[in-house]
Amino acid sequence: MIGGLFIYNHKGEVLISRVYRDDIGRNAVDAFRVNVIHARQQVRSPVTNIARTSFFHVKRSNIWLAAVTKQNVNAAMVFEFLYKMCDVMTAYFGKISEENIKNNFVLIYELLDEILDFGYPQNSETGALKTFITQQGIKGQPQTKEEQSQITSQVTGQIGWRREGIKYRRNELFLDVLESVNLLMSPQGQVLSAHVSGRVVMKSYLSGMPECKFGMNDKIVIDKQGKGGTTDDAGKSSGKQSIAIDDCTFHQCVRLSKFDSERSISFIPPDGEYELMRYRTTKDIILPFRVIPLVREVGRTKLEVKVVIKSNFKPSLLAQKIEVRIPTPLNTSGVQVICMKGKAKYKASENAIVWKIKRMAGMKESQISAEIELLPTNDKKKWARPPISMNFEVPFAPSGLKVRYLKVFESKLNYSDHDVIKWVRYIGRSGIYETRC
Amino acid sequence: MPYFGSEETVKELKRALANPHVQADRLRYKNYITKVIRYMTQGLDVSALFMDMVKASATVDIVQKKLVYLYMCTYASDKPDLALLAINTLRKDCADPNPMVRGLALRNMCNFRMPGMPEYIEQPIVAGLRDKASYVRRVAVLGCAKLHNLQPYTDMDGSIVNELYALLRDPDPVVVVNCLRALEEILKDEGGVVINKPIAHHLLNRMKDLDSWAQSEVLTFLLRYRPRSDDELFDILSLLDAFLQSAHAHVSVSTLRLFLHLAAAHPAVQADALLHTSAPLLATCGSASRELRFAGLCHVQQVMRSQPGLFGTHYKRFFCGYSEPSYIKFRKMEILVELVNDENVALVLEELRSYCTDVSPELAQAAIAAIGRIARTYSEKCLDILTGLLALKQDHITSAVIQTFRDLVWFCPQSTAAVCQTVEACVDNPQDSEGKQALLWLLGEHGEQISSAPYVVEGYIDGLKTELSSAVKMELLSASVKMFLCRPAETQDMLGRLLHYCIEEESNMCVRDRALLYYRLLQRGVEETRKAVTGPKSDPSMSVLTGRQEEPISLWASAFNTLGPLSGRDLCLQTVIISASAQPSSSAEEELLPGSKDVTLSCPNDTEEEISLSLGPPLSHETFEKMWLDLEILHRQTLGFPRPKAAADTLQAALQLVKIQTLAFTPGDTVPWKAYLYTRGTGTLILAELLQEDPEAPGTEGSLVVSVKQQPANQHTIRGFVAIIKSVFQTLNFDRL
């Protein structure tokens, strides 16, 4: 399977190297550096084959992670494994950066030892790993009897993702609906493609082995209830909008058979934070912002750009961290910007005007206009006009998804659904949100 | 990484580690150990510290232990005698009450790669297999595989194999999967772990408990199982149905592969499975991480080979984002071309046109070529776009457009008139040699329709001295001769100049010979030349070949979900061969590539016809011996039957019949029996060894093993050669019966 794992910084210096199998020689580390990191050209494929050895590489900020194998493996699996590894590392020490990796170097070796054995994935659930490797590094104290028995029961129990005997004084759960909305719009305002990929992330602090049931405004469920349900129920559901989910996938704890037959999502949740489901929608997306570009070429040395952004949601809501990036030609000599709101700056190194607005309420409009002076060039090359991209964060779900309920049942311990404190939060972020100009 | 003063550093560390004050202060001591590992990671040779590190392993601090073990695993093979010192500590740890310590010690003991190790680890492994903590069992099971790797074919293999088969029923899911992995490695010479009905059903029932990695692997192992009846088959499929929609792309793709494999006889089921998987596949194509997106796209391409219509309505999903890396954009464009239909053609073309002005010239050219492909069906719209692109006056775009025109004219003659008009109107000429060749071909082939053609060609002839590319010169010769045939008056003079220059002054032999050929042709008269030079101007039948075709699913299903689809269609086959012929370091890969084996087994006759062997001059024993030692084994294969008992002369004569020379062989029934053969085929020399081990030896089953060396290497010939050897021996064996 995976013969070795290497982590490099952007210069190609080895930060971590762990070889699991003999068929990967010590020179493999250097082969990757020379052929990929130091290669002048762009990366041609995320899988590079050097001397019959395949290098699967992923780049996170400035860090390269590479998995090496000599066998014909399942590529999607190796990539997902690398992401999982990143997730585990992030769970332990936050962002993956050169500094963090150097500081947590011992911890990473410990993790690598536990996650893979002889190149085979062993244990990659952060929750379970934390019983083996604590961040403090067990400081020479032999474990207590209790902890030992926990390890044994944790890995032999029927439910691999939750250990028994969890107790909380306060039973609490947090639901986060995190969505990223992607858009590609033509200059005329026609939506070329739009989709929302969302995740429901749950943080559960519940005692015992609770049985949970999760409900949302899924079209299929609502329609079914509308037909067969009581008048009262139908009245309620028609008031709310339902959404059509294109496809969704669940954490392994969700009983898929029940979802297939009755479309109900029931599960015993893992302890702590995890991703309950992932979904995608393409229909009836609420596009939080509309970008209207206007580019006019005045002669050969001047360009006039006017961009209007319109927020398209309830006036009571506030969007945050808005950033509009207007690309400028390579031969720009000077830029004058006037904007009604926020701050705008020309960043020569990025070839773009970056316009930042801290907050913006719904149903508002704002505008920026810029004059771009160009250097005359002999280069006949036409400016390719990259699209205007946008970043933002809004406190609702652009797909229209709503959490209808999350019920908790625990028959053995005496707390009921009402005793659990529940929190729901919606965050919509921009994915690739581009408008051509 | 070479370090200045690395020896100093090592010495300093050695001093520090040996310092009793440091040893007394636990934290400082650990810091120094961390430092050693850090240098090791950076590639500095710190093996000189081995003795001090072994001492550091005797500690209660688990983290320190782990670090020291990591160090020892790296350098144990360099210092086997010193590593033995650490074994006592490790063996003691294997009996620790804490399962974590037991597991850790066992794992690292198995990781030491040095001779003499097996005798120390056998006993702890066997004990570990029966440990009550599943954590230790997991480690012990994989330890068996490591042990086998270290010392293949020990007597205890048999008992371990039985124990591992029994552990397949272990309550811990990871132990179960580790058992499969270990058995696969231990039994690789016998074709890997056997999946019979009880095991298959047991695994299927446990699927839900496994983590996604294990699911993926088990699904691959299940490829080996053949259900007895249709009822059983459908039971299995309905059990697996849920996994088609798994949250993990790799699981759903693995499941799809298993579906396609199992339901090979039920096309309707296969189609249904593909339909089911299309949603997760599309989701993968839109996933947040680009590498996964790439893998998804590659697999979509595979599926489209058989079901081009499956993704038709989702064409917008394959529009490129501006910031996507080029490898994704290339794939997306390839897919878009396949998805074009009457309804979406306008939008797709509009989209592709916006890529034509991309910053990367390669991408722009690929986009233009993509439009060219679509033009074979929707020529009018595409020609407008392509003509519009010429107005941009950019070298790389012009060149690509002209090349596209050339191909277009060849495939659909009805567009010739429009293309000629455009070419005539195009003022600036391509600058790179590919583009020049395309333009010259167009001018030569359709010179009569382009009024300015002779003048353009003349321009090239005048600039001949500065032209570097010989390919352009050859094309220029052909174009001028063709033009001479249709417009002699305007061309005669410059053709004379061109031929004169090419024959008298040109240094490139190919160009000179081509010029001489045309010169002699022209000497035989214009009619003769016309007969020889002009051919069909287009070949519409070609478009049938290159057009979309629904391929049977079986064609790609065997390589699905391996590295094959990712390396591109052309490389696909190559990868398969390379991985199959790579040193047999593991058997998993051979199993993962059933296709490569099937090729050699199922159609030996075809291959036999394709390669022709010859005897050539005989080789002396000395030469053979020298070459045999020099070359590497390129191919090794177990033939699956014992050597024929026929007399030596018969064997030699039979091989001689198929032009294989026998150099030497062991006489009579001596064991092991060996024979050395050689032959020549398609320009290469093939040397081979046949080996039959003692039939009583474990793991061989008395089967004949053939090892092939070759100079120069040519996989195709090797496969043919092995197929021939096989058929000869099969015939001989048959005779005996």
Interface pTM, i.e. ipTM: 0.71
SS3 B494: helix
Nearest-Cα distance to chain A for B10, in Å, is: 19
SS3 of B83-96: the string is: HHHHHHHHHHHCCC
Q: pLDDT band at B678, cuts 50/70/90?
A: confident
Q: pLDDT band at B519, cuts 50/70/90?
A: very high
Question: What residues in B contact A52, CB-CB < 8 Å?
Answer: 578-579, 582
**Measured distance CA(A63)–CA(A424) in Å, rounded:** 34
What backbone torsions phi and psi does residue B421 show, to the nearest 5 degrees?
Answer: -60, -45
Q: What pLDDT does B5 receive?
A: 59
Q: What pLDDT does A356 receive?
A: 94
Tokens of B383: 């020609």
Q: What pLDDT does B611 receive?
A: 63
Q: What percent of chain B has pLDDT over 70?
A: 88
Among the partner residues A139, A180, A247, nearest to B280 by beta-carbon distance? A247
**Measured distance CA(B283)–CA(B281) in Å, rounded:** 5
Residue B124: pLDDT over 50: yes
From the list A213, A222, A277, A268, the residue with the least C-alpha distance to A248 is A277
Neighbours of B213 (CB within 10 A): 26
**Measured distance CA(B463)–CA(B717) in Å, rounded:** 46
Cα-based angle B663, B664, B669 (whole degrees, multiple of 5):
150
DSSP letters spanning B550-561: PPPTHHHHTTTT
From the list B123, B126, B220, B109, the residue with the least C-alpha distance to B167 is B126
Nearest-Cα distance to chain A for B8, in Å, is: 21
DSSP letter, residue B562: S
C-beta separation of B365 from B400 below 8 A: yes
Does the CB of B657 have a partner CB in chain A at under 8 Å?
no
Residue segments in chain A with a per-residue pLDDT below the cut of 50 = 136-150, 152-157, 228-239
B-interface mutation test, from A44, A80, A131, A180, most B Cβ less than 10 A away: A80
* Beta carbons of B135 and A105 less than 8 Å apart: no
A-interface mutation test, from B148, B206, B250, B329, most A Cβ less than 10 A away: B250
- Helix-strand-coil split of chain A, %, nearest 5: 25, 40, 35
Among the partner residues A52, A140, A193, nearest to B319 by beta-carbon distance? A193
B468-474 average pLDDT score? 89
Q: What pLDDT does B570 receive?
A: 39
B43-60 average pLDDT score? 83
B494-509 average pLDDT score? 90
Q: What pLDDT does B724 receive?
A: 81
From the list B492, B490, B481, the residue with the least C-alpha distance to B519 is B481
Question: What residues in A contact B43, CB-CB < 8 Å?
Answer: 14, 29-30
Among the partner residues B107, B247, B562, nearest to A250 by beta-carbon distance? B247
Q: What pLDDT does A159 receive?
A: 62
**Measured distance CA(B518)–CA(B294) in Å, rounded:** 50
Question: What residues in B contact A143, CB-CB < 8 Å?
Answer: 98, 100
Q: What percent of chain B has pLDDT over 90?
A: 10
Interface of B with A in 316-345 (CB under 8 A): 316-317, 319, 321-323, 325-327
Neighbours of A23 (CB within 10 A): 21
* Beta carbons of B562 and A75 less than 8 Å apart: yes
Question: Could you report the per-residue pLDDT of B289-338, keeping only the tens digit for each?
Answer: 888 899 999 989 888 888 888 888 888 889 888 888 889 999 999 999 98
**Measured distance CA(B115)–CA(B171) in Å, rounded:** 34
* Beta carbons of B592 and A71 less than 8 Å apart: yes
C-beta separation of A292 from A185 below 8 A: no
Does the CB of B62 have a partner CB in chain A at under 8 Å?
yes
B706-731 average pLDDT score? 79
Residue B269 C-alpha from the chain's centroid: 29
Tokens of B523: 């000497």
Q: pLDDT band at B605, cuts 50/70/90?
A: very low
Q: What pLDDT does B333 receive?
A: 92
DSSP letters spanning A16-56: EEEE-STTS-TTHHHHHIIIIIS-SSPP--SEEEETTEEEE
- Counting one residue from chain A and one from chain B, the pairs whose CB atoms sit within 8 A come to 250
Q: What pLDDT does A313 receive?
A: 92
Residue A167 C-alpha from the chain's centroid: 30
Sorted by sequence, the CB contacts under 8 Å of residue B55 that are 6+ apart come out as: B17
| Average per-residue pLDDT for chain A | 83
| Average per-residue pLDDT for chain B | 81
| Distance between start and end Cα atoms, chain A | 47
* Beta carbons of A79 and B295 less than 8 Å apart: yes
Nearest-Cα distance to chain A for B511, in Å, is: 34
